[in-house]
Amino acid sequence: MRRVLLFFVFLVLAPTSIYGDTDPSDASALRVMYQGLHSPGQLTKWTSNGGDPCVENWKGVKCSSSRVTEINLSGLGLSGDMGYQLTSLTSLTNLDMSNNNLGNQIPYNLPPNLQRLNFAGCGFSGSLPYSISLMTSLKYLQVTSIT
Ligand SMILES: *[C@@H]1O[C@H](CO)[C@@H](O)[C@H](O)[C@H]1NC(C)=O
């Protein structure tokens, strides 16, 4: 009887603890980002429909257990925007989007716990959004403005 019970416990826990499925909010934010960037082929494994960023090793994405901790899409010739769900990425500490064409405004809603943020050469103009001053974990910020 106890053996049967253990077996069921194992089955219930297996998907999260063994395979490390990505946190649903993190996965959703990345799918929305992919769409915002016009679903570029150079982002191998990425998809706007299903998929699992941490398990499938989406290009430029690093995870710790089920959370996305690092995104580096530097210099991949991307254009568009990063989507409207960046604030869900609460475990993201390192974001490097440098040298892509991300439009003209630095997004206001950024991942809140970033330590390193690189927006150099992204085509932004204007000033830094106030929200950046509220990111208390930020240690490194690189950004260039074309105006
Ligand atoms: C991101 O990737 C580029 C190109 O591979 C590399 O030069 C850069 O150092 C990386 N950035 C970070 C923050 O690791």
Task: Give the residue ranges of the chain where pLDDT is below 70.
Answer: 1-20, 147
Whole-number pLDDT of residue 31: 98
**Separation between Cα atoms, residue 48 and residue 76, nearest integer Å:** 18
**Separation between Cα atoms, residue 26 and residue 132, nearest integer Å:** 20
Ligand 1 neighbourhood includes 74 CB (under 6 angstroms): yes
Taking CA atoms only, the protein residue closest to ligand 1 atom 13 is 96
Ligand 1 neighbourhood includes 93 CB (under 6 angstroms): no
Domains in the chain, please, with CATH? 21-145 (3.80.10.10)
User: What is the CA(109)–ligand 1 centre distance, in A?
Assistant: 23
- Closest atom of ligand 1 to CA, residue 116: 13
Q: What is the pLDDT of residues 8-50, one digit of tens each?
A: 555 555 444 445 599 999 999 999 999 999 999 999 999 999 9
| DSSP state letters, 66-80 | TEEEEEE-TTS--BS
Whole-number pLDDT of residue 110: 97
Whole-number pLDDT of residue 94: 98
Phi/psi for 71 (5° steps) reads: -130, 120
Whole-number pLDDT of residue 121: 96
